[in-house]
Amino acid sequence: MKKLRSIYKNKVKMPPGTLPDEVNGPKQVKYTVIEYSSDHASMNEYHNLDDCLPDLHSSSVSWINIDGIHSSAVVESLGKEIELHPLVMEDIMNPLHRPKFEDFDNHIFVIFKIMRFDKKNINFSEEQVSLILGENYVITFQEYKGDIFDPVRKRIDQGQGRIRRMKSDYLFCSLLDMVIDNYYPILEDLDEVIEEMDEKVHLSSQALPSELYKCQKQVNFLHRSTWPMRDVISDILRSENTLINGKTRLYFKDLNDHILQIIDLADSFRDNVNALMELSIAINGDKLNRIMKFLTLVSTIFIPLSFIAGLYGMNFKNMPELETRYGYYIVLGVMLSVLIGMVMLFKKRKWF
Amino acid sequence: MKKLRSIYKNKVKMPPGTLPDEVNGPKQVKYTVIEYSSDHASMNEYHNLDDCLPDLHSSSVSWINIDGIHSSAVVESLGKEIELHPLVMEDIMNPLHRPKFEDFDNHIFVIFKIMRFDKKNINFSEEQVSLILGENYVITFQEYKGDIFDPVRKRIDQGQGRIRRMKSDYLFCSLLDMVIDNYYPILEDLDEVIEEMDEKVHLSSQALPSELYKCQKQVNFLHRSTWPMRDVISDILRSENTLINGKTRLYFKDLNDHILQIIDLADSFRDNVNALMELSIAINGDKLNRIMKFLTLVSTIFIPLSFIAGLYGMNFKNMPELETRYGYYIVLGVMLSVLIGMVMLFKKRKWF
Amino acid sequence: MKKLRSIYKNKVKMPPGTLPDEVNGPKQVKYTVIEYSSDHASMNEYHNLDDCLPDLHSSSVSWINIDGIHSSAVVESLGKEIELHPLVMEDIMNPLHRPKFEDFDNHIFVIFKIMRFDKKNINFSEEQVSLILGENYVITFQEYKGDIFDPVRKRIDQGQGRIRRMKSDYLFCSLLDMVIDNYYPILEDLDEVIEEMDEKVHLSSQALPSELYKCQKQVNFLHRSTWPMRDVISDILRSENTLINGKTRLYFKDLNDHILQIIDLADSFRDNVNALMELSIAINGDKLNRIMKFLTLVSTIFIPLSFIAGLYGMNFKNMPELETRYGYYIVLGVMLSVLIGMVMLFKKRKWF
Amino acid sequence: MKKLRSIYKNKVKMPPGTLPDEVNGPKQVKYTVIEYSSDHASMNEYHNLDDCLPDLHSSSVSWINIDGIHSSAVVESLGKEIELHPLVMEDIMNPLHRPKFEDFDNHIFVIFKIMRFDKKNINFSEEQVSLILGENYVITFQEYKGDIFDPVRKRIDQGQGRIRRMKSDYLFCSLLDMVIDNYYPILEDLDEVIEEMDEKVHLSSQALPSELYKCQKQVNFLHRSTWPMRDVISDILRSENTLINGKTRLYFKDLNDHILQIIDLADSFRDNVNALMELSIAINGDKLNRIMKFLTLVSTIFIPLSFIAGLYGMNFKNMPELETRYGYYIVLGVMLSVLIGMVMLFKKRKWF
Amino acid sequence: MKKLRSIYKNKVKMPPGTLPDEVNGPKQVKYTVIEYSSDHASMNEYHNLDDCLPDLHSSSVSWINIDGIHSSAVVESLGKEIELHPLVMEDIMNPLHRPKFEDFDNHIFVIFKIMRFDKKNINFSEEQVSLILGENYVITFQEYKGDIFDPVRKRIDQGQGRIRRMKSDYLFCSLLDMVIDNYYPILEDLDEVIEEMDEKVHLSSQALPSELYKCQKQVNFLHRSTWPMRDVISDILRSENTLINGKTRLYFKDLNDHILQIIDLADSFRDNVNALMELSIAINGDKLNRIMKFLTLVSTIFIPLSFIAGLYGMNFKNMPELETRYGYYIVLGVMLSVLIGMVMLFKKRKWF
Q: Note the pLDDT of residue B294.
A: 84
B24 touches chain C (CB under 8 A): no
Residue D133: the pLDDT is 92
When pLDDT is cut at 50, 70 and 90, the band that residue C176 belongs to is very high
Q: What is the pLDDT of residue E131?
A: 93
- Report the Cα–Cα distance between both ends of chain C, in Å, rounded: 50
User: What are the chain B neighbours of C213 within 8 Å (beta carbons)?
Assistant: 275-276, 278-279, 282
HSE-up of residue A321 (Cα within 13 Å, Cβ side):
17
Across E98-105, average pLDDT? 88
Q: Please say if the pLDDT value at position B25 is more than 60.
A: no
Helix E208-238 × helix E246-311 angle, to 10°: 160
| Proportion of chain A above pLDDT 70, given as a percent | 88
- Average confidence (pLDDT) over B283-310: 84
For helices D246-311 and D208-238, the axis angle rounded to 10 degrees is 160
CB contact under 8 Å between A279 and B210, yes or no, is yes
User: Are the C-beta atoms of residues B142 and B117 closer than 8 Å to each other?
Assistant: no
Label residue C57 by pLDDT band (50, 70, 90). low
What is the nearest CA distance from A147 to chain E, expressed in angstroms? 28
Per mean pLDDT, which of D16-30, D44-58, D91-105 is the most reliable?
D91-105
Query: What chain A residue is nearest to E254 in terms of C-alpha separation?
Result: A87
Q: How confident is the model at residue B6 (pLDDT cuts 50, 70, 90)?
A: very low
- Determine contact, residues E131/E112, Cβ cutoff 8 Å: yes
D296 touching E (Cβ < 8 Å): yes
pLDDT in tens, A31-68: 888 888 888 888 888 877 777 765 556 678 889 888 87
In this predicted structure, the answer to whether residue D261 has a pLDDT above a threshold of 50 is yes
Task: Give the one of D276, D279, D314 whose C-beta lies nearest to E313's C-beta.
Answer: D314
Average pLDDT score over residue span E59-79: 82
pLDDT at C44 over 90: no
- Check whether D28 has a pLDDT greater than 80: no
Q: Does E334 touch chain D (CB under 8 A)?
A: no
Q: Return the pLDDT at C2.
A: 45
The mean pLDDT value for E35-44 works out to 86
Q: Cβ of C85 under 8 Å from any chain B Cβ? A: yes
Helix H or strand E encompassing B129 = strand B123-134
Quote the pLDDT of residue C175.
93
Mean pLDDT of chain D, nearest integer: 83
Provide mean pLDDT across the span C129-143: 90
Mean pLDDT of D143-156: 85
For residues A11-24, average pLDDT: 59
Mean pLDDT of chain C: 83
**pLDDT in the model for residue E76:** 82
Least confident of B171-180, B216-225, D55-64, D126-135: D55-64
Q: Is the pLDDT of residue A329 over 70?
A: yes
Radius of gyration of chain D (CA): 35
Residues 154-183 of D with CB under 8 A from E: 155, 160-163, 173-174, 177, 181-182
- Answer yes or no: is pLDDT of D5 > 50: no
Determine, for residues B281 and A282 on separate chains, whether the beta-carbon distance falls below 8 Å: yes
Nearest chain D Cα to E280, which residue? D282
pLDDT value at A9 more than 70: no
Provide the pairing of β-strand D108-118 with D123-133. antiparallel
The pLDDT assigned to C148 comes to: 86
Interface test with A, best of E307, E343, E348 (most A CBs within 10 A): E307
- Interface touch C1/B195, C-beta < 8 Å: yes
Identify the band that residue E44 occupies on the pLDDT scale cut at 50, 70 and 90.
confident
Q: Does B199 touch chain C (CB under 8 A)?
A: no
Does the beta-carbon distance from D314 to E309 stay under 8 Å? yes
Average pLDDT over residues B47-65: 75
C-alpha A116: how far from its chain's center?
A: 8
- Name the residue with higher pLDDT: B52 or E199: E199
Residues of chain D in contact with residue C184, where contact means CB-CB under 8 angstroms, are: 4, 8, 11-12
What are the pLDDT digits (tens) for D112-146?
999 989 888 888 888 899 999 988 889 999 887 77
pLDDT category at C16 given cuts 50, 70, 90 is low
What's the mean pLDDT in C117-122? 88
pLDDT of residue B225: 86
Chain C residues with CB-CB distance to D97 below 8 A: 257, 261
* Cα nearest neighbour of D293 on chain E: E291
Mean pLDDT along residues D225-231: 90
The arithmetic mean of pLDDT across residues B80-94, rounded, is 84
Testing the interface with B: which of C21, C130, C302 to mutate, by most B Cβ within 10 A?
Answer: C302
Q: What is the pLDDT of residue E301?
A: 87
Neighbouring chains of E at 3+ CB pairs under 8 Å are A, D
The complex's ipTM? 0.76
For residue D284, which residues of chain C lie inside 8 Å, CB to CB? 282, 285-286, 289
Residue A281 has its nearest CB partner, among E253, E285, E313, at E285
Chain A contact for E16, CB < 8 A?
no
pLDDT digits (tens, 9 = 90+) for B182-202: 998 899 999 999 988 888 888
pLDDT band at C5; cut points 50, 70, 90: very low
Please check the confidence at residue C26 and state whether its pLDDT lies above 70: no
**Closest chain D CA to residue E320:** D316
Interface membership of C207 toward B (CB under 8 Å): yes
Asked if the C-beta of C311 comes within 8 angstroms of chain D's C-beta atoms, the answer is: yes
Give the confidence band of E2 by pLDDT, cuts at 50, 70, 90: very low
Higher local confidence (pLDDT), A308 or B146: A308
In the predicted model, what is the mean pLDDT of chain E? 83
Q: Is the pLDDT of residue C130 over 90?
A: yes
Instruction: Determine contact: A11 vs chain E, CB below 8 A.
Output: yes
pLDDT at C120: 87
Residue C270 has pLDDT above 70, yes or no: yes
Taking the C-alpha atoms of residue A26 and residue A11, their distance in angstroms, rounded to an integer, is 19
Query: B97-122, pLDDT tens digit by residue?
Result: 889 998 888 889 999 999 999 888 88
User: pLDDT tens, C193-205?
Assistant: 998 888 888 876 5
Q: Is D283 on the interface with E (CB under 8 A)?
A: yes
Contact C15 B155 (CB under 8 A): yes
Residue in B267, B272, B300 nearest the CB of C298: B300
Average pLDDT of E88-108? 86
pLDDT of residue C279: 85
**E150/chain D closest Cα distance in angstroms:** 31
Whether E55 shows a pLDDT value over 60: the answer reads: no
Lowest-confidence segment of D154-158, E81-85, E240-244 by average pLDDT: E81-85
Return the minimum-mean-pLDDT range out of D162-166, D233-237, E68-72: E68-72
Considering the entire predicted model, what is its pTM? Answer: 0.81
pLDDT of residue B5 exceeding 50, the answer is: no
Render pLDDT for C60-118 as a digit per residue (tens, 0 to 9).
Answer: 888 988 887 777 777 888 888 888 888 888 888 888 888 999 888 888 999 999 999 98
Longest dimension (CA), chain D: 120
Interchain CB distance below 8 Å, E205 and D286: yes
Q: Is residue B91 over pLDDT 90?
A: no
Q: What is the DSSP letter of E99?
A: P
**pLDDT exceeds cutoff 80 at B60:** yes
DSSP E282-323: HHHHHHHHHHHHHHHHHHHHHHHHHHHHHHTT---S--HHHH
* Cβ neighbours of residue C146 closer than 8 Å, sequence gap 6 or more: C67, C114, C127
- Per CB-CB distance under 8 Å, the chain C contacts of B295 are 295
- What pLDDT score was predicted for residue E177? 92
Strand partners, C46: C31
